[in-house]
Amino acid sequence: MVSETNIRARYSETDQMGVIYHANYLNWFEIGRTEFFRKLGKDYRELEEENVLLPVIDVGCKYIKAAKYDDEIIIKTKLVKLKGVRLEFNYEIIRKEDNVLLAEGYTKHAFVDKQLKPINFRKKYKDIWNKLKEVLE
């Protein structure tokens, strides 16, 4: 499953040159990931209420073309790895107007509790684990 989320680049996300500041792409990854879980039927808030956190343990982004103020952006998010206490997402940031790939990246996460101790998510949340396995690319 590839989850698509549409946003519009805001002025506050730009640098002095009117280009989207590089760190904001990581925020866009988070938006894509949050919507991915929402489309799966389990949003981040519900996970946190059930004592499940997903801290980022590794992140990478390759910048290809600049996004600019007011561009309509498509964030494509897909789950590419799910093993033990870890999961990994890949992202594509695309300008909607001309379908140009602007950036691509990944985030790696761990399933932990509020004390940041790893949890056996598969055992504790079998229904969500199975949904994740179904949409794994």
Taken in order of first residue, the domains within the chain and their CATH numbers are 3-135 (3.10.129.10)
> Any idea which residues carry the catalytic annotation?
15
Look at residues 42, 45, 115 and name the one whose alpha carbon lies nearest to residue 79. 42
Residue 13 CB neighbours (<10 A): 19
pLDDT at 16: 85
pLDDT at 43: 86
pTM for this predicted structure: 0.93
Answer whether residue 9 shows pLDDT above 80.
yes
CA-CA distance, 5 to 65, in Å (whole number)? Answer: 19
